[in-house]
Amino acid sequence: MSTPDGHTTACHIEACLADLGTDRFAQTFVSFVETLGVDQIMVFAIENTQARCLLSWHFSRSVMAGKLAETYLDGWFFKDPLLPDLVALPPQSVTLSRLAEIEGRMSSDYRKLFFENPGMLAKTTLLAVGEKLRLFVSLYQSDPAAPLCDPDLARLAGRLALLHFEKASDTDLPPPLAALSERERSVCLGILSGRKAEAIAADLDVAPSTVITYRKRAYAKLGIASRAGLFAICGK
């Protein structure tokens, strides 16, 4: 991927700033991140002994992002070599770490699960701490010939993610659902509340088969394959 020119980058940043705190931000943000030459972005909030997935997006293999997010949330975040660093950072901090800097602190099983098996060769992680949230904003690259993403733009991505999710943290909407259409989101919220397809269809005044179509589209965008995956990435 070629490096975007200054005008294109400025347009993406302006769009992200305009959409902070809204349900449009996820799509606007991933469009900006894609210009950085990365293959996948993951955003996790770490809160005491819990982790929440705020965004998981692979630009060509969406299911893989969802599976990795589920696995990370299933206790593996405790083994993240950068966890002590994130916990120690003061508020209003955004720092950058490259994979090469932390490989020696990484267990072999963690490396195999999150890097070797999915074919991720490079990772740039932003540790972003605000007043409410502590975030890992991780940018992954799989092309061995590609240059590492620009550090200044990567830090900006971390700052934008922090600004948005702190602004949106008072809403009840699970952040991963912000990337969906209104109908897809409604179906997922219905599933999270324990409702069957027939009941969701009645709420939306559509056929149950239409609900199933929306569910399939939503799962594909979220990179998951099941109800369990939806509950996992939404922290339910």
Where do the domains of the chain lie?
Answer: 6-168, 180-233
Length of the chain: 236
| C-alpha dihedral, 32 to 133 to 94 to 180, nearest 10° | -10
**The pair of three-digit structure tokens given for residue 224, joined into one six-digit string:** 């998951």
Contact indicator for 153, 6 with CB cutoff of 8 Å: no
Backbone angles phi, psi at 7, to 5 degrees: -65, -45
Look at the domain 6-168 and name its fold: Beta-Lactamase (3.30.450)
User: How does pLDDT run along the chain (236 residues), one tens digit per residue?
Assistant: 445 567 888 999 999 999 998 878 988 999 999 999 999 999 999 988 888 888 888 888 777 888 888 889 889 999 999 999 999 999 999 999 999 999 999 999 999 999 999 999 999 999 999 999 999 999 999 998 989 999 999 999 999 999 999 988 766 678 888 778 889 999 999 999 888 999 999 999 999 999 999 999 888 888 787 888 888 888 76
The per-residue pLDDT for 92 is 94
Q: How far apart are CA 165 and CA 54, in angstroms?
A: 8
Q: 3-class SS at 69?
A: helix
The per-residue pLDDT for 233 is 83
The per-residue pLDDT for 170 is 66
User: Which CATH number fits the domain 180-233, given the four candidates 3.40.640.10, 1.10.600.10, 1.20.1730.10, 1.10.10.10?
Assistant: 1.10.10.10
**The pair of three-digit structure tokens given for residue 167, joined into one six-digit string:** 């602004």
